[in-house]
A = this chain, B = another copy of it.
């Protein structure tokens, strides 16, 4: 505790020393690994020093560092697809920084309570590498299923990392500054670590499961008394979901040229890495996976890598995702609804998804698209003159030119400037709740050399301006050389109509003017156990060529869609040069609102066409 004077002296010494070279050691500021003391304040000092030393490398000697909310900067951030709370606790905040590398040398950064490990705000040329992010007491719990009967299920909870209590018969987890009731669960198979098939968002305990009555057999073993309508398997694991989605693992906002490499994100309190209004983002060997050293099956609280309104080049290379409680990758923009046309250049608009509000949605000079609500066609664009928030939900936008005269209240706007090119390669999408990749950007998209064991669809290309208000239409997507293994689509989640599901939410799809364009699915390997491989709605230009489909029998077919391929309101489709190994189910093409002249089937495909 007398260290403060010592730190001050060292700080002065470091001052002299570090001017001579670029490496700043956190130990020079008085922070040693493995002490369990709160690192927050000392890291703040080191970052303040880094600010006056552009180009520096901040090094953490390998070890364990602990971060507590005390002294963490609390900032008002509107974080996309995240609960709105007054202040976010930023454990390590890089703000207005340029040209900084943080090399953690393989250290464990252990966080406590609800907190955001890294925040990169208004910064450029930032690199973070070689770090493991975890919590001693995670914000999600897990249990091993000890016994399953018609009347109850017994579960074992590691009380060292998930202390709990039972209140009014309900299981309530207790952490470092919070108490949180169990509200949902996912079942993972003991050996494979797959989400149990035909569970997913259908649930693994059946309807009414939250009417259970918990009973403590001993501290760490809980009997859930209820005649569960679906029964999980003895020996499997349950991830017990609780607590809010209130902090990202890493939040990148208003920043440019950010590289994250060799990061094991073993846990977090929301989205893994949330990038928002940022440009040129490279994530290599970022793993959102369970910490197997701790016998964990749980990993991140929600999504893995979430990109909201980004631009430039997004690269995801050699990343792993397992046991997340939401999609590993989600790339999208944010649509807003026109509430009022104040004059021919001025619109009052509203954010429509209550977790995505309060953004500076546009800046002068940015290009905005106008979208009608039925076929979701873009019927015009205009350039922004000014933007003004009037409340967290509402803003006024003025354009440099008159908006289209056909625009009516209820139409949607899309910001076409904040749309990135995306490359996702060499990555592993294990069994996570929901889909593998959600992709909604008009930029150039390449998804290649990945392996998918997704519980739901491996890839979902959605886009809507009616429900989630996540834009936008794709125009150039290449999906090649990936392996879609048989766990893909073993469970159901929203919009999962095929291993690859192209499912924009369009109230009245216009078959003449499809929403999405130019999607090529080439040279991939699929291992379907069920019918739907590809479902596509409202696409102009869709090829499925050179792929190999190999029938799997590892799972029981269940999907209501009994077609290998479904094309709904599409133009210019090609299915050619694919190989079909084994008794592929259906081996059929279902056309809906799509004329056969728009479908080109290659030679020897042996597919049955259904209308």
Contacts and interface: CB of A to CB of B under 8 A. Distances in A.
A528 to B, nearest CB: 44
Contacts of A179: 34-37
Interface in A157-194: 159-160, 163, 174-179
Contacts of A448: none
A354 to B, nearest CB: 12
A144 interface: no
B2 A66 contact: no
A83 interface: yes
B4 A175 contact: no
Nearest to A89: B70
Contacts of A177: 36-38, 66, 68, 70
Contacts of A70: 68-72, 177
A84 interface: yes
Nearest to A179: B36
Interface string A100-133: 0000000000001100000000000000000000
Contact of A160 (B4, B160, B178): B160
This chain's copy number in the assembly = 2
A74 to B, nearest CB: 10
A19 interface: no
A7 B174 CA distance: 23
A20 interface: no
A34 B165 CA distance: 11
Contacts of A37: 177-179
Contacts of A246: 1
A37 B243 CA distance: 13
Contact of A68 (B69, B84, B174): B69
A86 interface: yes
A9 interface: no
Contacts of A4: 86
Contact of A178 (B36, B176, B219): B36
A477 B382 CA distance: 92
A611 to B, nearest CB: 52
A175 B36 contact: yes
A176 B113 CA distance: 11
Nearest to A175: B36
Interface in A67-88: 68-72, 83-86
Interface of A: 1-2, 4-5, 34-38, 66, 68-72, 83-86, 112-113, 159-160, 163, 174-179, 219, 244, 246
Q: Report, nearest first, the 5 A-B pairs whose CB atoms are least far apart.
A: A1-B85, A70-B70, A36-B179, A69-B70, A4-B86
17 contacts: A1-B85, A2-B85, A2-B86, A5-B86, A34-B179, A35-B179, A36-B174, A37-B178, A37-B179, A68-B69, A68-B70, A68-B177, A69-B70, A70-B70, A112-B176, A160-B160, A160-B219
Given A1-B246, A37-B177, A70-B177, 12 more contacts: A1-B244, A2-B86, A34-B179, A66-B177, A68-B113, A69-B70, A70-B70, A112-B176, A159-B160, A160-B160, A160-B163, A176-B176
